[in-house]
Amino acid sequence: MRRSGWKMTRGPAMQAVSVLAATVVLVGLASSPAGAAPTPSAGAKAAGPSIESPDGQASRDVDNRTGVAAPNTRQRSMASKLGAVHFNALGTPSALFTGKALATGLAADPETAARQYLAANRDLFGLDAKAVANLDLIAVNKIDPGAVVLLRQRFGDLAAGYDGQVAVLVNAGTVVRVTSSLARDTTAPAPPTVAADAAIAVALRDVGLAADQVGPVDVRPVAVPTPAAGPRAAYAITLSSTSGATPTAVTSYVDARDASVLIREDLVDFDSDNPHWAVFPAAASLAGGDTRVTWCLKPAAGCAKAVSDPAVGQAWDTTVGTGTPTFTSIGNSANDVLALGGGTPTSNATTSVARNYTYPFTDQWHAARCNPTTFTSAQRNDADAAITNLFAMHNRMHDFAYNLGFTEATWNLQAVNIGTAGLGGDAEQGRAQQNALGGSRNNANQGTPRDGQQPTTNMFLWQPVAGSAYPPCVDGDYDMTVVGHEYTHAISNRMIAGPDSGISGFQGGSMGESWSDLDALEYLYENGFRAPGNTPYVEGAYVTGDNNRGIRNYDLSKNPLNYSDLGADLVGPEVHADGEIWNATNFRVRAAMMNRYGAGTPALQLSCADGKTSVQSCPGNRRWIQLMYDSFLLQASSAVSMLDMRDNMLAADLVRFGGANQDIIWGAFAESGMGMDASTNGGADTDAVPSFASPYANNATVHLAPLGDSAGAVIRVYVGDYEARAMPVADTDPETATPDTFQIVPNTKFELTAVGAGFGAHKFSTLFLGGRTQDLKLNLPRNLASVASGATISGDGVNLAALGDDTEATDWASLTGVAGKQITVDLPGTLPQTVSQINVSAMLRPAITGDVDPGTQNRFSALRSFSVLACNGAVADCTQDGSYQTVFTSPTDAFPTGGFRPVSPEINLRSFSIPPTPATHLRVRILSSQCTGNPLYAGEQDADPAAATDCATASPAATQVRMSEFQVFTR
């Protein structure tokens, strides 16, 4: 269900662990007490990285509840009056939002108004007055001038542990938006017959762990509503493995009567009087040298910035209550330690009685090229500098988020809470250089338990590894885009669905990744800091060494993705890749807000970031991120879709800014495929239906009109660059539910892809005129290499037909070598055709059970270079190799990739012009794969004797190559 961070999930007792998706051996998670580090399992490698491909990370989430509590006649009647209403499996509406008031004339007090609304709508929610009165108040959070009221069901004496919540946005007696995971059945569950210890044993067996393999176990009696069996008494049991090499952390809901596992949530989401901290505000420099600045509590000579905790007004290293300093990397918002693993104890930064936390920095890991002897050197791999930087960045994210609404009342991370809101006791527990001696590399993760339990973040070293990833030798503790990303997983998981549960579902996990990217980069922008990257919107450029894309497929500001691209990444649905759809969408909203309200001055940006200027007077980017934080509070259900969060943002704007931005927010979502007619079958859906129309625009109406050879053919049109696993906006197939006409916002240039059996793929860009019905004329030439056109394909490797099936969703592979492998295409007919253009794709695909090319495909096995040979059967015998002449040799970087790893935009379909050539047969000869032919992945790139980096000699990908399409045209 949920993966985040650079990966994500979460549940009541432990909300989320996020992982940065380059990947690695992950380590023990958030349940470890402060100062206690997980140790690697027996046999763990003592030195050198141990890294797996991130592409196969699978969630261990399970929901064993069955059935659906269908809406009754009265509910269906009410729903028909409101328009389309989606019901959850428990029999109540999952979300209500029309853009207008749902109810008016209610009490001025938000909680009273929310309860009045629910009681007055018994026919819709199925809750009588007693059930409404029994709802526990969890929170009333301000979205000026309104408030979000979060209520939770009780079933008898037991509070709901999973689902059973409703969030009502109220403004001056008016209900604007409702989200719900309420159950219509509110009866008390039968009492427990299973003891807590027995339930713990069940939970342990369910995840394959023994009692001595986990840290302290958190157990709570709760109720779990089910569609078929009503409310069930259960135990919410949180387990976290103590292994440094095996990342297992779950919350299991075990039925207290039959000992079955109702739900299992995977929690691994895979960043003196005037103390001084030496820090990298954004990131260290790959050029080397100490470029740190000094931050202090009070302005002073040599201090670049004065910093303090906005919750308490004290220094970061202070114990709240006594006001005394800790003299190390411990404070009210964070407790950061060195956690090398390998049997070594954890430790805070070296004590400084003078509170001068400006430890030496020599950039040792980078300068020594990942040599493991740095750990035993006198400098200890710059351990104190790393711990201090991580501590400062955790505090900065705490402070930044506090001013956006992540406070004690919304379950933030603090050892001591001021006032009565929240539980406290949950400052961020940071692990610098986590499990470095155990071999963990190239990642970061965040584990976030429920309010009152300590969250943990693990920051890793980065190092090149053959056939996996090729970052520089750097320490993730110095990259604020990574640290801020991980911290934001705690923010979104705490604020969404209340203090005890958080984000679930594929789309929810994807948005969790995106929110973390967006928040980290916005923090840097508003504070005037610049991380490495070609623009300020590159996530992870320092740790990956890729200034163009960082760890993502796209720079946030150059991202073309939209809602129809769900699941279109090179290995299929994946929360980090699909989170980039939400990145693109929010960047469009942000840009529209900045276009309307301006960027302001650097001084105004900083004043807004520090909470000193009202958001009503701030630039557009600050208004946007405030709505993003507001949208978290409007979500009562853990399972959330992108359309849910779209509506939450629109509803927040109605209250926060009086609806002043409905037009531009709708416009940005429409451009992103989440327009007014978009639909999805819940948050787990990877085949959502896109819409590019806005209720505020004079939309164009477009009709597909194939011409020429393609007249009468089945043609699919996609908005964007992707076809495989994407959803078309229209097609001409009468057998599908997809229409041949669509609406789209006008005067915006869109990239389109037209695909059809026998016609290959054709990419083009256009814009449409508003208020008009117009034909999209598609005169597509025949793909002469298509099996549908009559071509036949033979040669080396497996899945030969995949090259001629007109879709990138399948691929050909050689599993026994690369250079010299070849495929021959016998073109249709007997007469020669003059070919002048070819399309080639190196895209991969998800594993297919039972296929001759099983398993997760390694992105380094993608094609890099090739040649094309031709034979004219009218004058030569094309069964003989000597009859073929080379007519085209691709550039050595026909599919150019970045230094970190190949990504989808670099290996999808490309067109190549070739000299006009009469031919009856064409032959593709493989020259190299990314592994064998890319110099960025060649040779020994570090000084670690235990780690190999040369892809061509040290990776299984070296003997494999994949290509998904070979298309041939005469024009």
pLDDT tens-place string over residues 856-871? 689 999 999 999 999 9
- What's the CA angle centered on 572, arms 682 and 584, to 5 degrees? 70
What's the rounded Cα separation, in Å, for the pair 13 and 449?
Answer: 5
Which residue is listed with tokens 């990942």?
A: 370
**Residue 49: what pLDDT?**
33
**Residue 329: what pLDDT?**
96
pLDDT band at 838 (very low <50, low <70, confident <90, very high): very high
H or E element at residue 196: helix 196-207
Give tens-digit pLDDT for 378-415.
Answer: 999 999 999 999 999 999 999 999 999 999 999 999 99
- Residue 45 scores a pLDDT above 60: no
Average pLDDT of 749-766? 97
- Report the range of poorest mean pLDDT among 10-19, 265-274, 444-453: 10-19
**Residue 191: what pLDDT?**
94
Look at 13 and 932; give whichever has higher pLDDT. 932
**Residue 73: what pLDDT?**
85
Count of other CB atoms within 10 angstroms of residue 177:
27
pLDDT band at 70 (very low <50, low <70, confident <90, very high): confident
- Residue 32 scores a pLDDT above 50: no
pLDDT band at 308 (very low <50, low <70, confident <90, very high): very high
Average pLDDT of 766-786? 95
Average pLDDT of 428-450? 92
**Residue 9: what pLDDT?**
28
Mean pLDDT computed over every residue of the chain: 90
Tell which residue, 55, 50, 52, 31, has the closest CA to residue 40: 50
Average pLDDT of 694-707? 97
Token pair of 462 as six digits: 């980065």
Tell which residue, 739, 713, 442, 722, has the closest CA to residue 573: 722
pLDDT band at 749 (very low <50, low <70, confident <90, very high): very high
- Our separate counts of H helices and E strands in the chain read 18, 42
What is the radius of gyration, based on Cα positions, of the chain? Answer: 29
Alpha helices in 23-99 (DSSP H): 73-82
Tell which residue, 690, 647, 696, has the closest CA to residue 667: 696
Q: Residues in the chain, how many?
A: 971
**Residue 59: what pLDDT?**
63
**Residue 273: what pLDDT?**
74
**Residue 318: what pLDDT?**
92
3-class SS at 554?
Answer: coil
Yes or no: say if 203 and 130 are a contact pair by the CB < 8 Å rule. no
DSSP 8-class letter at 239: E
**Residue 795: what pLDDT?**
97
Question: How much is the pTM?
Answer: 0.89
pLDDT band at 271 (very low <50, low <70, confident <90, very high): very low
Count of other CB atoms within 10 angstroms of residue 613:
18
Give tens-digit pLDDT for 583-636.
Answer: 999 999 999 999 999 999 999 999 999 999 999 999 999 999 999 999 999 999
What's the rounded Cα separation, in Å, for the pair 864 and 843?
Answer: 11
pLDDT band at 243 (very low <50, low <70, confident <90, very high): low
- Residue 98 scores a pLDDT above 90: no
**Residue 58: what pLDDT?**
56
- Residue 13 scores a pLDDT above 70: no
Yes or no: say if 675 and 694 are a contact pair by the CB < 8 Å rule. yes
Tell which residue, 587, 580, 552, 549, has the closest CA to residue 565: 580
**Residue 265: what pLDDT?**
84
**Residue 279: what pLDDT?**
94
- Helical packing angle, 642-656 and 506-526, nearest 10°: 50
Q: For residue 552, with 0-12 CB atoms within 10 Å meaning exposed, 13-18 middle and 19 or more buried, which class applies?
A: buried
Give percent of the chain above pLDDT 70.
92
- What's the CA angle centered on 102, arms 99 and 103, to 5 degrees? 140
User: Could you write out the DSSP letters of every residue in 252-292?
Assistant: EEEETTT--EEEEEE--B----S-EEEE-SSB--TT-S---
